Amino acid sequence: MDRQRWLFENMLLMPRYEVWVKRSISVARVAGTTAIEGEGIGTEAVSDLMRGGAVARSDADAVRANSNAIAAYEFIDYLSEQSDIPLSELVIRELNRQFMRGGPELLTPGVYRKGQNSVGNFTPPNQGDVPALMRDFAEWPCADDDVHPVLRAGIAHLHLVSVHPFWDGNGRTSRGMMTLILQRSPFGFRNLLSVESWFADRRDAYIDAIERAQGRSFSETYDMTGWLEFFVEALAAAAQSLMDELTDWHRWMQEVQGSLRQAGLNDRQADGLAYAARAGRITRPEYIEITGVSPITATRDLARLVEAGFLEVQGRTRGRAYLFKRRV
């Protein structure tokens, strides 16, 4: 991980492209963490929600869960840059409230459970022990000790989901806390990692690694070795995937500028096409935001990219999107 961090910090990534990458990573995080809980709606629908668009789905609970996750990860990114705000119990409780707001009142988002619960074959601690366990836990992420930041994030994830302090949303809260601890550390990768999506793609193995470490009932002395090996593998794989993708994209952007000029297109249109390549599609409002042009110019540019065979139109009028069709 130390070598990957050094390589990443020395990669050249233009600021505007980093913003685009960050947007797609934000989508992947939200889609991943909700999919693990069986409330996934797909990256395209999450992207629509992030733009403030409507999502045509009958499952209102899943849409709410993803809307909540968007707000929760915005809160996490904000806290990541506020080193003067300690990672306290209040932060953990607010994370849970963000993830679970709007649900049944009986679930009391952000409030510690007032009863016993169970997760599969695992029994969390008695509700009476939760406040003291959470007080002790909240002091640990900021402790001045020799624990590697990556291991600290992995331990925090497992311990929080094992204490299971809330009636619901413990998994999402634990993954959010994991991401927050990483982003506060030198291993934040400029907030461009989505370990959540890696977990979602390997959901069974992820859950199995947690359950093996937990055993049948809560214990403050459980063996985390297997879980931490899995967690470090996940983080290393997510980091390597990010670096491979950015390297490939940077190489392609250098090639595309020259090729598009030969095709009679300008740098503004190249930026729009680069975003479409990254996200898989682009809408007219996104093109306007990225390039700063007027709606009329955006419509003309997108039509030119369609005519040149780089984009393909999907949908009509307000719901229209332009799908990335081919590399240059």
Q: Is residue 169 part of a domain?
A: yes
Query: In which residue are the tokens 């459970």 written?
Result: 113
Q: Is residue 257 part of a domain?
A: no
The answer to whether residues 221 and 93 belong to one domain is: yes
pLDDT at 245: 80
201, amino acid identity: D
Q: Is residue 101 part of a domain?
A: yes
Q: Is residue 175 part of a domain?
A: yes
pLDDT at 112: 97
The answer to whether residues 297 and 200 belong to one domain is: no
CATH no. for residue 16? 1.10.3290.10
The answer to whether residues 50 and 116 belong to one domain is: yes
The answer to whether residues 9 and 140 belong to one domain is: yes
The answer to whether residues 223 and 302 belong to one domain is: no
pLDDT at 326: 65
Integer CA distances (angstroms), 326 to 187, 280, 301, in order: 34, 10, 17
Radius of gyration of the chain (CA): 22
The answer to whether residues 268 and 151 belong to one domain is: no
pLDDT at 58: 65
Q: Is residue 309 part of a domain?
A: yes
The answer to whether residues 76 and 211 belong to one domain is: yes
Q: Is residue 248 part of a domain?
A: no
- Domain end (from 239, 271, 290): 239
Q: How many CB atoms sit inside 10 A of residue 30's CB?
A: 31
Could you list the residue range(s) of the whole structural domain that residue 274 is in?
Answer: 263-324
Q: Is residue 9 part of a domain?
A: yes
Torsions phi, psi of 312, nearest 5? -130, 135
pLDDT at 35: 97
pLDDT at 15: 65
pLDDT at 141: 72
The H-assigned helical ranges of the chain are 2-9, 15-36, 43-50, 60-80, 89-100, 130-139, 149-163, 170-183, 195-201, 203-214, 225-262, 267-279, 284-291, 295-307
| pTM of structure | 0.85
The answer to whether residues 224 and 269 belong to one domain is: no
The answer to whether residues 187 and 317 belong to one domain is: no
The answer to whether residues 199 and 281 belong to one domain is: no
Torsions phi, psi of 321, nearest 5? -130, 160
The answer to whether residues 172 and 275 belong to one domain is: no
> What whole-number distance in Å separates Cα of residue 121 and Cα of residue 92?
25
Q: Is residue 213 part of a domain?
A: yes
> What whole-number distance in Å separates Cα of residue 286 and Cα of residue 63?
22
pLDDT at 12: 61
User: Environment class of residue 185 by beta-carbon count within 10 Å: exposed (0-12), middle (13-18) or buried (19+)?
Assistant: middle
The H or E element that residue 327 is part of is none
Q: Comparing C-alpha atoms, which of 305, 16, 260 is closest to residue 297?
A: 305
The answer to whether residues 172 and 302 belong to one domain is: no
CATH no. for residue 282? 1.10.10.10
DSSP character string of 271-292: HHHHHHHHHSEE-HHHHHHHH-
Is-contact 163 137, C-beta < 8 A?
Answer: yes
pLDDT (tens, 9 = 90+) of the chain, 328 residues, equals: 777 776 777 666 666 677 778 888 999 999 999 999 999 999 988 988 987 777 766 688 999 999 999 999 999 999 999 989 999 999 999 999 999 999 888 889 999 999 999 888 899 999 999 999 999 998 887 666 788 999 999 999 999 999 999 999 999 999 999 999 999 999 988 899 999 999 999 999 999 999 999 999 999 888 999 999 999 999 999 999 888 888 877 777 777 666 766 777 788 888 888 788 777 888 888 888 888 899 999 999 999 899 888 899 988 766 788 998 865 5
Integer CA distances (angstroms), 81 to 77, 182, 189, in order: 7, 12, 13
Number of domain units in the chain: 2
